Structure formats: structure tokens, C-alpha cells
Chains A and B, each alone.
Chain A
Amino acid sequence: MKYVGITCWNIVLFLTVCCSGYTTQPEQHAAGSVKATDVRGAQDREPGSSRMETRVCVPGQVIVKFKEGTGQQAIEAIQRKLHLKTIRVVSRPNLYLMEVEDSSSLEEITKRLQDFRAVEYAEPNYVRRIQ
């Protein structure tokens, strides 16, 4: 078969490098708000944005979905193990926004989270921007 997907892999690689690079603690704003990234201004009255020029996730934050029925104790045990602190519950049931309290990369943390049976999925807190 023909080999395709080189472009996609480059992008995956870019994103991985980009997100995993943010290991420093985020500056805390009210309710864990986003320290937002630069988007080209609209002074020129033209739409901004180019796919590669902006940060793609909030540093040090991870969204974790625990499986239905997972108890508070189980969640706290996982948090202790991975040094995660709850910022807030994003959606019920069991969708948490958490902060990484050590120097682990987001890539590493999301990978380790996925290994727990109680975790349905875990992902960086991705950024969206105006178009």
C-alpha cells in the first residue's frame, strides 16, 4: 500500500512537542482561568490566525473524565499518585479540570492517567481561538 500521512505525523509531532513543553506552573487566575495566548490582532480588518503560530493548550492543565460510578476516594487516590490538584468539576458526572503540581509533562500525565481503569479519557485543556 502507498504510504501516506507524513503531514499528519508532522503535525502530531508538533502538537506533542508543543503541549508537552509546558511543564511550568500556570499563573493562577480566578477560577483557573486561561492565561490566553497571542492571536494576531484584527486591526488590519483581516481575519487572524495561522495554524502554527499559537499555543494549543493551557499549560499545566488536564481534563480528566472518570468512568461513571467512580467514587471520590478513587479519584483522590489517583490525584495523590500523580500529584494532581482539582481546579474544578467542569461537567457532571465526573469531568474534572486538574492542575499538574509537579514537573511532569502533560503528555506524560495524560498517558499515565489513561492507564487507570477508572479513567475514561484524559487530555490537555486545549485552546480555541476566534476566527
Chain B
Amino acid sequence: MAKPVILMIAFICFFVSPEWAVPGSRTQTGQTRRYVAGELLVKYKPRVRAAASEYFRGRWGVSTLKAYQAIGAEHVKLPKGMTVEEALEIYQDDPDVEYAEPNYYRHATATPDDTFFDELWGLHNTGQTGGLEDADIDAPEAWDTQTGNSGVVVAVLDTGADLDHEDLSDNIWKNADEDWVAGNPGYNDGDDDDNGQVDDYYGWDFVNNDNDPDDDNHSSYHGTHVSGTIGAKGNNEKGITGVNWSVSIMPLKILGVNGTGSVANEIEAIDYVIAKGAKIISASFSADDYSHAEYDAIRRARDAGGAGILFVAAAGNDAADNDDLPAYPASYDLDNIIAVAATDQNDALASFSNYGATSVDVAGPGVRIYSTKAGDDGDDYQYLSGTSIATPHVSGLAALIWAEDLEQNGDFTYTYSQVKDRILNGVDVKTALSGKVLMAGRINANNSMNPPANEPDAPSGLGVWAVSTGQTSVNWTDNADDESGFKIKRATASGGPHSHIATVAADGESFTDTGLNDGTTYYYRVCAFNAAGNSTDSNEDEATTLLAAPSGLSATAASSSRVDLSWTDNSVAESGYRIEQKTGSGGTYAEIAVVDADVATYSNTGLSASTAYYYRVRAYNSSDNSDYSNEAHATTPGASGGDDGGGCFITTAAHGSAMGMVHVPILGLITAVISILPLPKIIDLTEHSRVCGSV
């Protein structure tokens, strides 16, 4: 879209009338205005300019505040009662109008005065650390709308936090249900809120079972760092700023001095969060073991209080694929979980970060992130890296979204699901993250905080073709001009349910789906998305992948009248295998047998002695035949020695196969030895090995 950007900036300089000149000024409902109420910027088409201007004044009662002859545009004031949206519809439908648009605000973005703000490339990347400009979450732009609210509680399940840190102390949660004496904790050794934890003024230490969730994780002061990224106090002329300038961090210590803790501790902390009503749990920990009890606890959080609790979890630091080897709790199939991978200052996936095309949702900045560090003086800071460190960027963004909800609506009205959608749909899609995280993107706070007015138009004309045994090609028409990307959805039955399996960048019109089963029908739909939401789905189309051919066919003459065949079953969708044979290399193939699915051997009997037999095999099912396997042949020995006396046969001619089958009937000892070998009597021999009775 070719927006007249320079023109716009010129307009702003001239037009913003004094009563609206305060950046980010709020309406009576608390909503941030993005443009001046009751005004438009309009450009009429050149030949009709005067007449059109006259017409709109007469017909609709607009007045011209100022006309800019040089650029042929007018700054107009709308009549009382006409909204900017209504006026835009009228103007944009008129053929004499070249363009009409709101008189948008432009103002300096909110850069906080914190000492080390320039270190925070993840919030605002100007290339200051040698990285890519704008490889960040656009925090300053988001802060124009919202900088956080202490009414939003984020529970940090970690190693605790330095409660006295100069940049954290103001943003630590205070338990209003315990008795405070003139703003100070009463420490009355009483369980005032009757929750089983005595004097839990600032959270709880579940490791040592006391009321001081201080951070004793000396090797990294992990929880203190995570807490700083969520909500180190912003714009206070010291240290850093979190994603939230103000927020309430509830430190719940479940990980001990060397950074580990038990699921039992975690579950107790989750129940504590549910009882106290935090909106978000930030979980920068993981391990491999599935825990039913942990799953249940996170599900309880999801179902808590109607709106539910969002659970933001680190994907793990093993550079591994969570789709194959899950990391818990990030990998539970619960929709209140956001699983987070880490990116670096160039928007590339961090070398250590776990990933998962469907099991990890988004990425966030997680390499060399500067944040608060516990210490005696409460003014220490340090760099850390990890998916742990990316996670609080996402938790912090969730808190910002709920802060805006609280301020706009006077109460919390968003569900965990709405907040999750705002975060996921707000990503900046990056090619480097395609196939690594479900949304193929890194979070962007500005997109999530300031979504477009409408969701994009739906794509159409979806078509799907099978490319191979494991691949399909999906194509569609892009009808939107304001999409962030497209969500590819796949089902194994017509009509769904379709699962979101991948994300394609804006303007994309094709996707190659790989790693599919052979001979299987897949049903696809696509929708466009932006931070405002998803379009409706496209039409559905389907394709059936090709049936996988068997491979490694080998033929072995077992006697003068029998040849044994074996092959590799490569299909999961075959009804069986069709076996074809011809006599001599010049013969014609004819089907001699059909065997069941999953059968990979066949004995061809009743053959003639001293004859060369050729074979090929293919899989079949109700809708398809696969390609043929390789061709294999075997020559039956002469009949003189009899079926039991030959003792030495030339074996297979399997192309490309080094596996031969040996049958040595004359040597009972060897037969016995081979018989005790596991599974078929196959031993690794060079092609055409000749095994004669030389024992």
C-alpha cells in the first residue's frame, strides 16, 4: 500500500489542534486515541477538486480547516455527530476522492530514562550490540499505549527474587490479605489470610517452606533476572526497565540454590497462584519427564476464575526438537500454555534453543539479555541467555495487555485465550523461524498492543496437490493487504477438526507440507491473520500422498524349484503387495501373487531348475498402486543334486543391496548355527557370495 508518508508527517506538524495535542491522550473511557476526532485528511482527484470540495461541504456539512494547494489536499472538520469511521466510508466510496484518512497522531515514542536502557536490545534494537536494527519486540512503540499497571499480578515460579533490589522492590507484589501496619508488613506470626502460609507478605519460598522468597541461586540469580525482564521499574533513572514499567511480581520460589526443584513444590505454587488470583505464571524451567500431577495443576490454572491463568513456559535449552522429545511443562497439550523459544539480536533462533514446529508457539529475545542481579547493595545487573530469559518477555507482554484491559474497561475482561491470541497473532513472522515455532515469529509488543482495526480478508481458491509419498503442495490466493501472515490448517477428515500446523509470512500464497504419511488423504484450509484476529477460513481442499514403493527387494534360490523374496515395507497405508515375475531377462512380467499388508517376504515355489527368474514388487491399496521396487533375480540350480543336496547356490541380484541370503542345506551344523540367529536367516554378505562347504 503506497501511503503518502511524507505528506502525512507534514500534516501532523500543521494540523494537530491544541486540545488534542497531548500524545497518547485518553478518551473518557480511557482508550488511547490513535487519531484526531472529528477530522479527516482528504485529497480529491485533480480535475474535480473544487467541485468535490464544494459538494462535500454542501451535502455533508463538512468544513475546510485548511486547503493545501501545492499538494491538492484538504484538512476537513466533520459535522457534529459524524464519526471519523462514518466519514471515511462516505469519502472512500466517492469516485472523486483520491484518498481520505484519519488525522493520525505522530509523536515521539516513549523512551525511558533508565541508565542501561541502551543495553536492552530485546526491547529496542538499534544495532547497538552489533545486531539487526528492529530485531526487537518494539517495546517503546507499545509503551505509547501502555507501560503497565500494578493491578496486574505475574507469578514468577523460579529461584526467588531479590526483594530489595533498587529496580524491583517497588514492583514486588504485596499480599493485601495479610495484616500491614502503616504500609509495612506486620509479621504477626499469624496466617491472616488463612491460606496455610504464615506472614506471606511478598510471596512464598516453597523450597524451604518460609515466607522469604529471596534468590539464593548464586550461580546465576535466575529468578531475579527473569523478574527484571518482566517488570524492573521503568523510567526511574536507574538500572534497566522491564517490559512493564510497573506491575506486581509475585515471587514464588520453587527452585533451590542450584536451580532445581520438584514438581511437588511447583504444584503447591500453582495452587497458591490460583488462590491469590494472579493472571500470569512465568515458568522458566523444564525437564523431560511427563507428570500427570503437573498437568492437572496447569489445567486447574486454566480453569480458574472464569478468565483462566496464562502459563508461559520455556521451551528448553537442549537445541532439540520438542515435537520429537517433549520438554515439560512447555509441551503439555493445554491451551493456556505459551511455549517460548529464544532468538538472538539478529532474529535468528538461538543456538541452544529448543524448537518445535507445532509444540513451541513463539520466540522471544533470549541471548545476552541484561537484567537485575541479586546482591548485597541491590544495584547489580548482569547478562544471561536462555529460553528462560526469552520467557519473561512473553509473560511481560501478557501483563501489558491485561494492564490495558484493566485501564480501558475498569476491570479484567480478557480471558487467557484472548491474551494468548493477541500475543501469537502479533508476531513478526521471520523466515528463519519457519518450521521452528508454530507462529514462525518473534513476539512484537507493539503489534499486540495496537492491533489493526480489522482482521484481514480471507484467502480463497485453495488448492492442494500431492508432490510425493510424504509431501503436498498447498496454494491459495491472498486477498488481504494488512495480514501478518497465513495459518496453514490440516485435518485427516473432511470438515476437520483442522489443526494449525504452520505459519507462512505475509503475501505468501503457497506452502509445502512435508513429513507426511504415504497414501494418506489430508484436508487443508488456510486463514490470514494479524494482531486483530484471524480471517475466516478459505475453502477446504484435499490431496492424497502417493503410496510408497517397497525397496531392497532380494531374491534367493532356495532350491531348484523355489526362490525366496524379501523386501522393505516403506508404506503405512498399503492393503498389500503385488508380486510380479518373468522368466529370463527378456520375458514379460506377470503378477504371480498378492500378499497382505505388512508382509515383506514371499516364497515362489514350483519353479523349474536351472532357470533365471526376475521379480519386482509394488504396494497397492484401494485407490493407488505404488511404483515398483528394484528388480531382483535368482537362478535355480540344476536338479541333479536334488532339493536337499545342492548345497551351494548363487543368491540375489538385488540392485544396490549388500544383503544376501544363504542357504547351506548340506551342512546341518551351519544350518543349526544360522537358525539360532535372530529373525530371518539373513547375514550380511557381499553380493554374489559363494558359500561352499568349506567348514
Closest approach, in angstroms, between the C-beta of B400 and any C-beta of chain A? Answer: 23
Per-residue interface assignment for chain A, residues 20 to 62, with 1 indicating a CB less than 8 Å from any chain B CB and 0 otherwise? 0000000001111110111101110111111100101110010
Across-interface contacts of A131 in B (CB, < 8 A):
284-286, 314-317, 386-388, 391
Contact A34:B207 (CB < 8 A) given known A45-B384, A131-B285: yes
Expressed in whole angstroms, the minimum distance between the Cβ of B25 and any Cβ of chain A is 42
Is B65 an interface residue, CB under 8 A from the partner?
no
In the assembly, what is the distance between CA of A53 and CA of B432, in Å?
30
A118 to chain B, nearest CB (A): 16
Q: A34-B265, A39-B258 are in contact. Are A129 and B325 (CB under 8 A)?
A: no
With A45-B383, A95-B293 in contact, do A130 and B318 touch (Cβ < 8 Å)?
no
Instruction: Say yes or no: A43-B219 contact (C-beta < 8 A), given A11-B288, A131-B284.
Output: yes
Cβ contacts under 8 Å, B639 to chain A = none
Once bound together, how far apart are the Cα atoms of A59 and B247, in whole Å? Answer: 38
Q: How far is the CA of A38 from the CA of B257 in the complex (A)?
A: 10
A15: Cβ under 8 A from any B Cβ = yes
A128 touches B386 (CB 8 A): no
Q: Which of B222, B256, B284 contacts A34 (CB 8 A)?
A: B256
| Closest Cβ–Cβ distance, residue A93 to chain B (whole Å) | 12
In Å, the complex CA distance between A8 and B324 comes to 9
Is the Cβ of B289 less than 8 Å from the Cβ of A57? yes
For the complex, give the distance between the alpha carbons of A108 and B674 in Å: 39
**How many residues from A make CB contacts under 8 Å with B?**
47
Q: What sequence of 0s and 1s flags, for each residue 86-123 of chain A, a beta carbon within 8 Å of any chain B beta carbon?
A: 00001100010100000000000000000000000101
- Which one, A32, A34, A41, A49, contacts B317 given CB within 8 A? A49
Q: Is the CB of B314 within 8 A of A33?
A: no
Minimum CB–CB distance from A128 to chain B (whole Å) comes to 4
User: Taking A46-B385, A121-B292, A123-B291 as contacts, is the C-beta distance between A38 and B258 under 8 angstroms?
Assistant: yes
Q: Are A95 and B267 in contact (CB under 8 A)?
A: yes
Query: What's the minimum C-beta distance from A97 to chain B, rounded to whole angstroms?
Result: 5
**Is A1 an interface residue when CB atoms closer than 8 A count as contact?**
yes
Determine whether the beta carbon of B385 is less than 8 Å from that of A130. Answer: no
Q: Mark A residues whose CB is within 8 Å of B.
A: 1-2, 7-8, 11, 15, 29-34, 36-39, 41-43, 45-51, 54, 56-58, 61, 63, 65, 90-91, 95, 97, 121, 123-131
- In addition to A32-B264, A36-B256, A36-B258, 13 A-B residue pairs with Cβ atoms within 8 Å of each other are A15-B288, A15-B289, A39-B259, A46-B385, A47-B388, A54-B260, A90-B293, A91-B268, A127-B260, A127-B262, A128-B261, A128-B266, A130-B386
A-B contact pairs, 6 of them (CB 8 A): A41-B219, A51-B320, A58-B262, A125-B263, A129-B287, A131-B315
Q: Report which B residues bind A (CB closer than 8 A).
A: 158-159, 207-210, 217, 219-220, 222, 254-268, 271, 284-289, 291-294, 296-297, 314-318, 320, 324-325, 328-329, 352, 368, 382-389, 391, 569-570, 572, 598
A-B pairs, top 3 by smallest CB distance, nearest first, are: A42-B220, A47-B386, A31-B209
